[in-house]
Amino acid sequence: MHKRLLAVLAYVGAALSLIVAACTPFVLMGAFSEAVARTGVHVDAVYSGGTIARTVMRDGYQIDVYRPVQPHALQNVDPFVQIAFRPAASLPRRLNTELDLDGDGRPDVRVSLVMPRNPRARPSGEVVALSEAYRSFRMPESEVGFSELIAQSNGAVLVRIPVNQPSAGR
């Protein structure tokens, strides 16, 4: 009796797995994908830059200032703040601006950018720290890394400024 019940359950399971297979392209794949997206998982801020703290509007373009990103556990990345100039196509060929990164009303860095003629090329430029909390660097002289870079991505110019003190910008 027990063996028979087990066999019946096994065939019911096999039939269910066939139904799952038939539903996969039409319902299940999409449902599972939505469920994954709904869990609230997000791409690590070291790649995405994190969340925008505030936006500064300028003539023809905007500057998004992101919240400082702190590395997790043994992550081999220095803390940084990302700023994004967008749209990249509207930026002047040479740009010089002072920015308040921590929202205290005083400028923290001066960013100078030279936009390349080739929209796929990496812009050059310089970040000069006006506050001890941030580190100066110049591209292309400095080594590009996730916490120190000037790059074009998705129609924006991204600048990542290394943070000296973990508490900066809090």
Partner 1 sequence: MASAAIPHPKRRPPPFRTVGRSVLLTLPIALWALLMFTPTLRSPGLNHHIGAAAAVLFMTLLFFLMMRTGKTYRWRRYFFVTLGFLFPVGFIASLIHLRGSMSISLEHMLGGDTPFCHMVIPMILIPAALTRTVIFPGSILPTATNPHSVAVMIGLWLALTLVLGKAWCSYACFFGGIEEGFAALPKHIRIRKIDPRLRLVPWALLIAVAVLSAALFEPVYCMWLCPFKAVTEFPAVTGVKTAIQMGIFVALFVGLVVVLPFLTKKRTQCGFFCPFGAFQSLFNKINLFEIRFDRTKCADCTLCQTACPTMALSAESIREGKTLLNCMKCGACVDSCKKHAAVWHLKGTPVAVKPERARLLFLYGAWALATMLGGSIIANSLATILGFLPIR
32 near partner 1 (CB under 8 A): yes
- From CA 108, how far away is CA 128, in angstroms rounded? 9
Listed ranges 15-23, 60-68, 87-95, 162-170: which one lies at the site for partner 1 (CB under 8 A) = 15-23
Q: Give 88's DSSP letter.
A: G
Q: Are 84 and 66 in contact (CB under 8 A)?
A: yes
Nearest distance, CB of residue 132 and partner 1, angstroms: 27
Nearest distance, CB of residue 107 and partner 1, angstroms: 25
Q: Which residues of 66-104 are buried (b: 16+ CB within 10 A; e: fewer)?
A: bbbbbbeeeeebbbbbbbbbbebeebeeebeeebbbbee
- From CA 129, how far away is CA 150, in angstroms rounded? 15
Q: Are 87 and 155 in contact (CB under 8 A)?
A: yes
Nearest distance, CB of residue 91 and partner 1, angstroms: 16
Residue in 151, 165, 166, 167 binding partner 1, rule: CB under 8 A: 151
158 near partner 1 (CB under 8 A): yes
123 near partner 1 (CB under 8 A): no
Task: Please give the residue ranges that form the binding site for partner 1 (CB under 8 A).
Answer: 3, 6-7, 9-11, 13-15, 17-18, 20-22, 24-25, 28-37, 39-49, 71-76, 120, 122, 143-144, 146, 149, 151-154, 158
